[in-house]
Amino acid sequence: MACIEARGLRKSFGKTVALDGIDLKVEPGRILGLIGPNGAGKSTALNAILGLVPYEGNLRVLGRNPWTERNKLMQDVCFIADVAVLPRWMRVTQALDYVEGVHPRFDRAKAEAFLARTTIKRTSKVRELSKGMVTQLHLALVMAIDAKVLVLDEPTLGLDLLYRKQFYDSLLNDYFDHSRTIVVTTHQVEEVQHILTDLMFINRGRIVLECSMEAFEERYAELTVNPANLAAARALKPIYERQAFGRTALLFDNADRAQLSALGEVRTPSIGDLFVAVMGTDNSAPKGAVAA
């Protein structure tokens, strides 16, 4: 059974369509990156999955209807919606006590062990912690919950590089195993590229690209072309072209790698470059994007 399955998922706020009938299927053990510009509908999709907003269409998370069964679903689904949601008046010990008191799958010893590796004091209030520490605390709470699905909505927003790196390291090393599923949205795509197993681009309420990372690596190639071969490379119909350090980088979809490597240096593109390319051709080019 798929962990998350949506068919024709639709949500509008007044006249604004936030989700325009998307289909989605996430299998257990996957780490899905949901990438899109601001206002693309990512958070709306996550909120629907978490039972925070009503929606139209068919949506099942772990076999349950999130809107009507949110409190049962939350026994198996955790989320960090962004760093600012832990109540600021709460003490660290109170957070541990509370989650232990209401969550049947919370393992306090595990959370304590995780916190012991940080500099967070038990008696501190959330408002006294730095932004990075608040995220560490939230992660400690969430990682100690034996959940099947973890939803992260911009979990590392506003954190410095060190905390961001630690966040994903902890998640991968201490938490993730192949019985869990993680869905993450972020703008810091380069940091999640190596941890994702699946990739989904979403724009204006629609899915514009959906593939596994293996498929991504097979399908897309970036050629840093030797200037002399530029015309030949362009003839192979790149989907996107950009200038980097005086050289031209071309992005190809389903091109023959052997053919490309004759023209210059070939590598797997970053998700960020593909994102700009795909969003650029999605007829709403953000400024600066070059549609090829």
Partner 1 sequence: MSIEADVGTSPAARAVAPATPAQTRPFAWSVRRELWEYRSSWIAPLAAAGFVLFGVSMGLMRMTHASRMISSLPPEKQAAIHMIPYAIAAAAIGLTSTIVAISYCLGTLNNERRDRSILFWKSMPVSDLTTLLAKASLPLVVLPLIAFVVTCTTQLVMLLLGAGAQLAHGHDSAQAWATVPLHLMWAFDFYILATLTLWYAPIYAWLLVVSGWARRGAFLWATLPPLALCVVEKLAFDTSYAWDLVRYRLGGSFHEAFVNMGPHPFGQHQMNFRLPQADPEKFFSAPGLWLGLAVAAALFALAIYLRRRRELV
Which residues contact partner 1 by CB under 8 A?
50, 52-54, 70-75, 78-82, 84-91, 94, 97-99, 101-107, 110, 113-114, 117-118, 136, 139, 146, 163, 166-167, 169-170, 173-175, 177-179
Give me the residues paired with residue 10 across strands. 20, 56
Whichever of 152 and 221 has its CB closer to partner 1, that residue is 152
d(CA 44, CA 262): 45
Please state the closest distance from residue 152 (CB atom) to partner 1, in A.
Answer: 11
Please state the closest distance from residue 170 (CB atom) to partner 1, in A.
Answer: 5
Q: How many CB atoms lie within 10 A of CB 160?
A: 11
Please state the closest distance from residue 56 (CB atom) to partner 1, in A.
Answer: 15
Whichever of 175 and 275 has its CB closer to partner 1, that residue is 175
Residue 25: which of 44, 46, 6, 9 has the closest Cα?
6
Whichever of 117 and 257 has its CB closer to partner 1, that residue is 117
Whichever of 79 and 220 has its CB closer to partner 1, that residue is 79
Q: Give CA separation, 98 vs 87, 102, 106, 207, in Å.
A: 12, 6, 10, 38
Residue keyed to tokens 């070059």: 290
Whichever of 51 and 238 has its CB closer to partner 1, that residue is 51
CB 80 within 8 A of CB 18: no
Please state the closest distance from residue 277 (CB atom) to partner 1, in A.
Answer: 33
Please state the closest distance from residue 134 (CB atom) to partner 1, in A.
Answer: 11
In degrees and rounded to multiples of 5, residue 109 shows phi and psi of: -60, -40
